[in-house]
Structure 1
Amino acid sequence: MHTDATLVVDFLNTVDIERGEDLLDDPGLWQRWSAQRGVSPGNADEARAIRDALRAAAGDPRLPVDQLEVPLTFSLNSQGPQLLGTTAVSAVLVAATRLAIRGDWVRLKICPADDCLEAFYDESRNRSRTWCSMRVCGNREKARTWRARATGVHN
């Protein structure tokens, strides 16, 4: 997976729906997460708002899609133009912007399983992957559908 996609997916998954845990609720964990990625943590409330907005834009059905405007820093040097991000939030927004510019934002998806909702990056050739894991969520949904058909229950 591309570095930008990894950063964005990791950030989107700082909330674990299945376990009911949010890394941003623990300042120590948020600082460690940021330090591991070489950025400063910044404000956790701002990070939560941006994470929720990005998750909504990627397809999280629990969250409303709202317009979000955040200033980013642009630099022009001998290597050419660059977007700069020094805090965790700005680094994630820079990575998300690069994904959008390359046309890869559509590969960021949220697993549709109600008890999962994990973000993932669809690396399939035709961008048709639905589940975060076919072995776990996809298999559960197939089994649920099969049981419903077998018992005559229709959705």
Structure 2
Amino acid sequence: MDAPAELLRDFVNTYDVQGDTDELASPAELAIWLRERGLISEADRAVDDDWALAVNLREGLRTALRHEHAPDATRDAPAPGPVADTRGPGPATETPASGPVVEAPAPGPVAEAASTRLEAALAALPLRITLVDGAPAPEPLAEGAARGLGLIATAVLRAHADGSWPRLKVCADSTCQWAFIDSSKNRSRAWCSMRVCGNRTKTRAYRARRQQSAPRAS
């Protein structure tokens, strides 16, 4: 299995916001992605319920990362992304009384909603997580694709435990939102690419300031 931050980064990036393309556009594609990363066996398959869980987990992660690390000016913008149709009965799950704990983003109603979305996605997974010697240890309550998604949920806790979670971010440009690992010394990086998204964001801000300061015609 990949390092936790790398696995979470790659999982979030299965949906390209800017190009509106989705690597997990069907249960079959979800199974392929999980299989390629050693999260399920060659014989395992995914069904519609698994796909709904995957999309909700992925977009919950994107939303939480965006509002946890994004500059204040971008916090209130909506987070685009596919939404799984979860109407009807879902898979049978067992949620422990004390489920996965995710560090809350910066205070405020928008950040709290982002955290709640991720926590709800984690709680829906058929996985019990306990601590062994201070490290999260998964106990799958299902097989197949649901178990693979549970291991991705475990990566959230593993990333917190190894200190890599604060370096896992999504691009502050609302039209991009590409996940990346911030390797800068002071963890100050906000864009996946300063040359592209950073300059584009700064240009938009500059134009907005110019419009606000321009004298109005009488």
Which category describes the TM-score, using the shorter chain as reference length?
A: 0.7 to 0.9
Partners in 2 of 1:142 and 1:128 — Cα distance? Answer: 16
**Stretches of structure 2 lacking an aligned partner (at least 5 in a row):** 68-76, 80-112, 214-218
- The equivalent position to 2:197 in structure 1, one of 107, 120, 137, is 137
Is the contact made by 1:72 and 1:94 (CA closer than 8 Å) also made in structure 2?
no
Partner of 2:128: 72
1:102–1:75 distance in 2 versus 1, CA, 3 Å: closer
Please say if 1:83 is aligned against 2:137: yes
Partners in 2 of 1:81 and 1:142 — Cα distance? Answer: 41
- Per the TM alignment, residue 89 of structure 1 is displaced from its structure 2 partner at its CA by 1.3
- 13-22 vs 125-134, which moves further: 13-22
TM-score, normalised relative to structure 2: 0.58
Partners in 2 of 1:154 and 1:3 — Cα distance? Answer: 46
Partner of 1:62: 78
Please say if 1:92 is aligned against 2:184: no
Q: Percent identity?
A: 32
Partner of 1:112: 172
1:62 aligned partner, one-letter code: P
Please say if 1:49 is aligned against 2:56: yes
- Per the TM alignment, residue 75 of structure 1 is displaced from its structure 2 partner at its CA by 8.5
TM-score, normalised relative to structure 1: 0.78
Is the contact made by 1:74 and 1:82 (CA closer than 8 Å) also made in structure 2?
yes
- Per the TM alignment, residue 135 of structure 1 is displaced from its structure 2 partner at its CA by 2.3
- 4-13 vs 15-24, which moves further: 15-24
Alignment RMSD (CA, Å): 3.1
Partners in 2 of 1:128 and 1:145 — Cα distance? Answer: 19
Partners in 2 of 1:117 and 1:81 — Cα distance? Answer: 30
1:1-57 deviations in whole A, cap 9, x for unaligned? x71111000111111111112222233322221111011365110111111222121
